Amino acid sequence: MKAIKNIHASTTDGLQRLREASQSGLALCFAGVGSAFARQNDPTSLIVAKDGVTLLVDMGTTIPRVLATHGIGIGEFDYYHFTHSHADHIGGLEELLLFSHYVLKKAPRIIASEEYKNILWNQSLRGGCEYRENGVFQFEDLAEIIMPEQTATSPRELFEVEIGGMRLILFRTVHIPTEGDNSGSKFWSTGLLIDGRVLFTADTRFDPLIFEHLSMDKVETIFHDCQLHEPNVVHASYSQLMTLDETLRSKIYLTHYGDAFQVFDPPADGFAGFAQPWVIYQ
């Protein structure tokens, strides 16, 4: 998967260009590549397109504004998916629900397991979305929930769903570890395997077992969480990712990185590079 062209900030048809690029196969574009505390980049948010169908993965607080500067309305995606409930990933979700309901008069299609749907609604969204002018909303009043099928419980929970010709495998990750339990996490977080070819870890600690638990035969490109500074607590650090073997490293574009990126040279260290915002990968 190579970067093919930049969608410049002045572009007014960003999503259209991506849709066109996706006619010849999977096309990806990051609306943001930064960490939760980055100031030079917006929080990591990934647009996936195939055969003109679009999926937005995560929408942190500043992403609605960034999309707008690229001529994209938050309600324009065919599907949405949220990897976990930190604000740099779901900060724009309340706006998506309320704007879609009151202005666009439609319900966005959100891919979420039953368990995560309940976590999202009860722990994050109800505060701003539950009460309406005459009664209360349930999550299902504001969104069409697409539930993936659970296909494995161990050694790692997996969920699968097919949307618009894209086969998505959601895999549980260990982003916030649960004390005394290194095998999993009570905190809900997932990564994404797209068509068996592109792996997006979303936020995770360093967890090389991911590459054993998933079928990696066809994986060409990995977009991996990367924290540039030490110590690493809830993310994979650059130095930890350096310990992966050469073949794996050569497929990895680093995402979710902080502002110190200029002093790093990922290609010199065997990585594919830093993922760049508003570049189409095809």
Report whether the peptide linkage leading into residue 267 is cis, meaning its omega lies within 30 degrees of zero: no
In the bound state with Zn ion, the residue whose beta carbon lies nearer, of 26 and 47, is 47
| Residue 205 token pair | 């600690």
Q: Does 157 bind Zn ion (CB under 5 A)?
A: no
Residues 6 or more apart whose Cβ sits within 8 Å of residue 194: 26, 28, 48, 166, 167, 168, 200
Name the one range near Zn ion by CB under 5 A: 13-21, 34-42, 116-124, 158-166: 34-42
Give the shortest CB-35-to-Zn ion separation in angstroms: 6
In the bound state with Zn ion, the residue whose beta carbon lies nearer, of 88 and 157, is 88
Name the one range near Zn ion by CB under 5 A: 21-29, 92-100, 191-199, 200-208: 200-208
Q: Does 225 bind Zn ion (CB under 5 A)?
A: no
Give the shortest CB-273-to-Zn ion separation in angstroms: 20
Candidate list 58, 88, 157, 195; residue touching Zn ion; CB under 5 A:
88
Contact 110, 59 (CB under 8 A): no
Q: Does 86 bind Zn ion (CB under 5 A)?
A: yes
Give the shortest CB-115-to-Zn ion separation in angstroms: 18
Chain residues binding Zn ion by CB under 5 A are 36, 86, 88, 203
